[in-house]
Structure 1
Amino acid sequence: MLLLSIAIAALAIALISLALIVALKNNQAAELNAMSQQLKDTSEQTHILRSEVSELRTGLLSIGKRVLEVEQQNQDLIQQQAAQKYDDPDAKIYSRAVKMVELGADLDEVIRECELPRAEAELLFSLHKQKDA
């Protein structure tokens, strides 16, 4: 009878152990499913982020090209403006008159050499004096 009691106790312990093992296995399976779902969600999110980064990169390249075009247009305009400055005969006269004033020529000399009206020559002199002050 003692043997039967021991066998029943051993069987009960085995059944309890088996139940614990099944419960642990189910718990691990649930955790594995949760981790698998989390990995799937993270993978989808990574894919979306990569697409967005690619779109941003494309947009930045487009903006960069546009900026380069605008800079080139700006340089072209600066060159055209500089060329017009030197092509204009009146601008040459005024540039020469300003240079003469800076070098210390007197009013009559500037009027005579640059063929400027007295009022314009006086204006150049007054502007030059303001710049020096």
Structure 2
Amino acid sequence: MLLYSLFGASILLGLVCLGLVVVNNNKQVEALNNKQQQLRDTQQQLSILRSEVAEMRTGMLSIGKRLVAVEEKNHELAQLQEVQKYDDPNAKIYSRAVKMVELGADLDEIIRECELPRAEAELLMSLHKQKGA
């Protein structure tokens, strides 16, 4: 009889252990499924972020190209403006007068050297003082 009770107890103990193994296995399977779902979600987010980065890169390249075009146009206009400054004889007089003002010439000297009317010479001097302030 003792042998039967020991045998029964060992079978019961084996069943309890088997139940614990099954429960633990189910928890591990559930945890694995959760981790796989997290991995799929993360991969989806990564895919979205990669496409957004690609769109931003494309936009930046487009902006860069437009910026280069604007800089080239600005350079062309600056060169054109420089050429026109020397084409106009009156502009040469005013350029010289401005240079004299910047160098500190007085009003009468500017009028005499550049043959400007007093009002224009005074205006140049006034504008130069405003720039300097």
TM class, shorter-length: 0.7 to 0.9
Counterpart of 2:47 in structure 1 is: 47
CA change 1:54–1:68 in 2 (3 A) is: same
Q: In 1, Cα distance between the equivalents of 2:34 and 2:110?
A: 94
Q: What number of residue pairs does the alignment pair up?
A: 125
Q: In 1, Cα distance between the equivalents of 2:97 and 2:105?
A: 10
Q: TM-score, normalised by structure 1?
A: 0.80
Which residue, 110, 122, 125 being the options, matches 1:126?
122
Gaps of 5+ in 1: none
Q: In 2, Cα distance between the equivalents of 1:106 and 1:63?
A: 48
Counterpart of 1:57 in structure 2 is: 57
Following superposition, the deviation at residue 126 of structure 1 comes to 1.6
User: RMSD value over aligned CA atoms?
Assistant: 2.3
Q: In 2, Cα distance between the equivalents of 1:30 and 1:106?
A: 93
Q: TM-score, normalised by structure 2?
A: 0.80
Following superposition, the deviation at residue 132 of structure 1 comes to 5.1
Runs in 1 of length 4+ with deviation above 6 angstroms?
none
Paired residues of 1:98 and 1:124 also in contact (CA < 8 A): no
Gaps of 5+ in 2: none
Following superposition, the deviation at residue 62 of structure 1 comes to 0.9
Q: In 1, Cα distance between the equivalents of 2:110 and 2:45?
A: 79
